[in-house]
Amino acid sequence: MEDAENIVAQTAERIFADLADAQTINSDKKGSWKAPLWRALSEAGLPLSWVAEEYGGSGATLAEGFGVLSAAGRSALPVPLAETMLAGWLLSLGKIACPEGEMTLVPAGPKDRITLNGDATLSGRARGVPFAKEARHIAVLAHDEKAKPSIALVSADKCRIESSLNLGGDHTDIVTFDRVTPVAVKPAPDDFDLTSALLMGAVARSLQIAGSLESMLEISVRYSNERVAFEKKISKFQAVQHNLARLAGESAAALAAATSAADALADPATPKDAAFLEAASAKIRCSEAAEKAAAIAHQVHGAIGFTIEHILHRYTLRALAWRDDFGSESYWAVELGKRVAANGADELWPLVASR
């Protein structure tokens, strides 16, 4: 199984290396690189990795898909790959066939609710929906008047989408459903709710952040070995070495937290409380690491790292923007605290020690 996971991740990395070079994308203001990249990803079956073949996907495991997201994070891709994977995963839970093309999912945050009306139409408003403006279809988790969850597939052109951008310059839009008729709607699994969807999204973003931090570290180390000041490489200065060590520590911590959470969600035997602990903790730790690592990386680069021509901001700004998707670190910290308090003090140490 591990070999299969490596093969899927390696396929993604080869595509990113060939068609998503950081400097090429940074220099291409028209976005002409997007179509060839998406075509290659689609031909490899990566956007629908988590969808069974009977529903139009490639039938990859959760672990294999998580490997793809790690690789995507290292490239800081400004395309809706993670969003399409998550949308496909959600639709497959409802046994709904997946369409081709870019997708996103709603809601992408804990405060939004979409209502399934009695006539099977959808109403509501969702904020901060990643890449909604570029999506052809939207996977929706909706609730009826009795709070029973359902999963729906909606054509994006049936919704009103107000454009907005995040720190990284990617779309994070407002989507309004005004009695929209979905393409398909099915009941969600009995044990599935909004928290389940948000946890999956949180782990996806944690892996992307951790991957981005790996690239920040690599770029910063390389630059420090090239930049000369006072007749020696800046990597020889103790202050710079200290900063790089801190950056390496933040990257390692984020990677450990994200991969541990991914392993927990990929294992069906993981208890629900343990999966919640892993996923929430990963989002908290990776979000904190993104803030610290971005500051350190830019400090190592100095003024050049802030220029639009340099590739560093591609990683730092997206890592910072990803902190808000599928619940911020403050949201998950509060929810984790509530879960621990509800279970009681005697259950905390056994839960932590089991991980």
pLDDT digits (tens, 9 = 90+) for 280-313: 999 999 999 999 999 999 999 998 887 888 999 9
The percent of residues in the chain predicted with pLDDT above 90, rounded, is: 82
CA end-to-end span of the chain: 22
Tens-digit pLDDT profile for residues 176-186: 999 999 999 99
Other C-beta atoms lying within 10 Å of the C-beta of residue 98: 24
Q: Which CATH superfamily is domain 194-353 in?
A: Butyryl-CoA Dehydrogenase, subunit A, domain 3 (1.20.140.10)
**24 pLDDT more than 90:** no
Alpha-carbon distance of 211 to 12, in angstroms, equals: 13
Average pLDDT, the chain: 93
Tens-digit pLDDT profile for residues 38-96: 999 999 999 999 999 998 898 999 999 999 999 999 999 899 999 999 999 999 999 99
The answer to which of 28-42, 145-159, 204-218 has the lowest mean pLDDT is: 28-42
Q: What is the pLDDT averaged over residues 233-242?
A: 93
Sequence spans of domains, the chain: 1-77, 102-190, 194-353
Return the SS3 of 232: strand
3-state secondary structure string across 272-334? HHHHHHHHHHHHHHHHHHHHHHHHHHHHHHHHHHHCCCCCHHHHHHHHHHHCCCCCCHHHHHH
Tens-digit pLDDT profile for residues 245-259: 999 999 999 999 999
- The model's pTM: 0.95
Q: Minimal CA–CA distance to 92: which of 142, 137, 55?
A: 55
**265 pLDDT more than 80:** yes
Alpha-carbon distance of 3 to 153, in angstroms, equals: 34
**21 pLDDT more than 80:** yes
Lookup result for tokens 């052109």: 157
Alpha-carbon distance of 58 to 60, in angstroms, equals: 6
**319 pLDDT more than 80:** yes
Hey, what CATH class is 102-190 in? mainly beta
Bond into 99 cis (ω within 30): no
